[in-house]
Amino acid sequence: MPDTATTAAEPPTNPAAGRIDRVLDRVADGLERPVHGLGAVTGTVGERFSGWGRSRPLAAASGLLARRHSLIALILYLAGAIVIEYHAVLHPGTEIAGNIVGDPTQYMWAMWWWPHAILGGLNPLVTHAIWVPDAYNLGSVTSTPVPALLLAPLNALIGWRAGPVVSYNLCMLIAPVLSAWLAYRLCLRVTGAPGASILGGWLYGFSAYFLSQLQGHLNLAFTFLPVALALLALARLNGDISRRRFVTLAAVALIAQIGIGTEIVFTTTCLGAVAVMTALLIAPPDARRRIVGRLVPELALAYLVAAVVCSPLLYYALIGPAVNPGYNSRLNVADLLSYVIPTPLFRVGQNRFLPIADLFPAAAGFTETGTYLGLPLLAGACAGAVAAWRHWGMRVLVLCAVVACVWSLGPTLIVAGQATLPLPWRLLDLKPAFDEISPVRIGLYVELAAAVACAVWLARPGRWRAWRWLLALLAVAFIAPNFNHTLPTGQPIFAENVSSPAFITDGLYRRELRHDEAILPIPFGPFGNSLLWQAQARGYFREASGWFGYYPDGYRSSLTVSELLSFHPFTDPYRHLRHFLGAHDVGAVVVLPAAAGPWPHVLTQLGLRRVETGGVWLYRVPARLRLLRGGS
């Protein structure tokens, strides 16, 4: 017989609300069908995360259910990347999902240079094709040899007119998918819950960091290394993979990332060292013994193998000049509010928070404010950290996230654009290697920790599970990109046309230029696509121009270069340009009419005759000017 007192005290139920709860619970149950062998899906929070502490066989993980969820995750991430980069997908040979002028073309140029140099018996780490006549060190810049060599067959197959752009777009499409899928595997090992892991992978792969680097930094868009090393480290600690396999896979991951860009390798190594030292302090004795006796020496061996394989690249990187001489790393730091206030890059933000977002200190604008988490993700991550705090793995994760957050804020705490308190990072930010790192990019590791912690919270059994899913999906919505955002020029934020003039695509340059002749392209350097022109022409001509982060000595002090970059001639541009053409043995000036600026008038005053051909204005430089030498 029911207790009448208790029954009377119960509030009346809402049938509609009950039906909603049941529907949400069924959806959550379907998403969280367990993958046995990775972790229990019932029990206390401390028992849930077996992937962090106890050895579990991976045989079941390779079963049909695990493969099905992995395939679902992969398809979902690929679909997301296609939607975000749909401009590039629809027009892969002429459009890219970005807008940083000049930066994308350096990766397109590398698609041509690396196979060309290796097949031609040249030193691929030094080029004379750009910045004529200087020898340009490609080891100290982001010349991305791994994507260039892997995609060389594709470029040869589809042709060089479209190949470099298509290859670039393919890389930018693969980058978030790879990062998200590996993050899914990491979350799956920690939680054993496929649905929560799929969402955790999305939160990392399509984070604010990726949307900011999608604007043109191919080398920084590939963020698989920290996830791959964490996944391999957990597997090795649990004894799930052999020493040989661990060292091999870790070395391959390091080699691949070094061949894409060294910045992620450096920052991952720093945060990895923090993780290891933290674990040695707080992990139980058995885990500490495995870290010291197994993980650290084997990881060191993997680094050694990667260093040997990549030694030529690392050598040229060490002897090369500073990429950004005079660069102030304090210009690109995170504002504390940037973690919760969205910029116009995000649909939830648009222009609603522009008065605050405009105060963020990143020198490159919204393309370097990739630290945004959003309140739902922040809430889910904090809840996950609290729920699993008893496990030493969660404490290591949280402490690493705190270190990464402090690093991203730079040497001084900035809140809404106002400098407030000094931070510990001022002790390192001007030291070698650290002085060329943009602290705001370290927000990547905060986003990874938040994604894993949110997946942990989402995978918990018990009440309110369906409502946790609603909040988690809201976290995804909060980082959805704003496709309607445009630059001040009116150009969409996630689309840029990089089509070349008919002078290049129709091969007219062969009729107008001599083979191996040096040209001066206008617009100059980072403001034009001349690197793409040279790649599409397969190096038929050389350039007294280029863009890879630093200017050679012969160009850094040139008044003509300053004039070309400022779009404004100085007091005596004719004399400056005349000497520049002679010093760099320029045979022709190729001007794109839409970006000609004042230079046609200057060239005419020098007595050069204009020829209109293939959508460009061509000015032949007579031999008498090329024989001149002197300061430029």
626 and 556 housed in the same domain: yes
Out of 478, 511, 534, a domain closes at 478
Q: Are 49 and 456 in contact (CB under 8 A)?
A: yes
Out of 446, 478, 510, a domain closes at 478
440 and 574 housed in the same domain: no
3-class SS of residue 617? strand
539 and 392 housed in the same domain: no
Tokens of 6: 């208790």
Let me know if residue 102 belongs to a domain: no
3-class SS of residue 479? coil
Give pLDDT, residue 394: 95
Give pLDDT, residue 323: 65
Let me know if residue 363 belongs to a domain: yes
Q: Are 202 and 481 in contact (CB under 8 A)?
A: no
468 and 547 housed in the same domain: no
Let me know if residue 381 belongs to a domain: yes
* Cβ-proximal residues to 171 (8 Å cutoff; 6+ apart), any chain: 107, 147, 151, 218, 221, 222
Let me know if residue 496 belongs to a domain: no
464 and 546 housed in the same domain: no
* Cβ-proximal residues to 13 (8 Å cutoff; 6+ apart), any chain: none
Give residue 201's domain range.
45-76+175-478
- The rounded distance, in Å, linking the Cα atoms of 298 and 283 is 19
Identify the bridge partners of residue 590 per DSSP, sorted by sequence position.
521, 618
Give pLDDT, residue 66: 65
Let me know if residue 345 belongs to a domain: yes
Whole-angstrom distance between the N-terminal and C-terminal Cα of the chain?
Answer: 100
Q: What is the pTM of this model?
A: 0.88
Tokens of 242: 């052999």
Question: pLDDT tens digits for 424-453?
Answer: 888 877 677 777 788 999 999 999 999 999
Out of 478, 512, 527, a domain closes at 478
464 and 509 housed in the same domain: no
- The rounded distance, in Å, linking the Cα atoms of 174 and 168 is 10
Give pLDDT, residue 425: 82
321 and 359 housed in the same domain: yes
- Give me the helices (H) in 424-521, please: 443-458, 465-478, 502-505, 509-512
Let me know if residue 27 belongs to a domain: no
450 and 524 housed in the same domain: no
Per-residue buried b or exposed e for 259-278, using 16+ beta carbons within 10 Å of the residue's own CB: bbbbbbbebbbbbbebbbeb
* Cβ-proximal residues to 358 (8 Å cutoff; 6+ apart), any chain: none
In the 3-class helix/strand/coil scheme, how is 246-294 assigned residue by residue? HHHHHHHHHHHHHCCCHHHHHHHHHHHHHHHHHHHHHCCHHHHHHHHHH
398 and 533 housed in the same domain: no
Let me know if residue 127 belongs to a domain: no
Question: pLDDT tens digits for 262-304?
Answer: 999 999 999 999 999 999 999 999 999 999 999 999 999 999 9
Domain count, the chain: 2
Residue 509: count other Cβ atoms within 10 Å of its Cβ: 26
- The rounded distance, in Å, linking the Cα atoms of 291 and 98 is 42
* Cβ-proximal residues to 276 (8 Å cutoff; 6+ apart), any chain: 291, 295, 296
591 and 543 housed in the same domain: yes
541 and 467 housed in the same domain: no
In the 3-class helix/strand/coil scheme, how is 286-350 assigned residue by residue? HHHHHHHHHHHHHHHHHHHHHHHHCHHHHHHHHHCCCCCCCCCHHHCCCCHHHHCCCCCCECCCC
Opening angle at CA 179, ends 225 and 104, nearest 5? 90
Within the chain, which residues score under 50 in pLDDT? 1-14, 16-17, 20-21, 23-62, 326, 630-631
Let me know if residue 508 belongs to a domain: yes
542 and 422 housed in the same domain: no
Give pLDDT, residue 50: 41
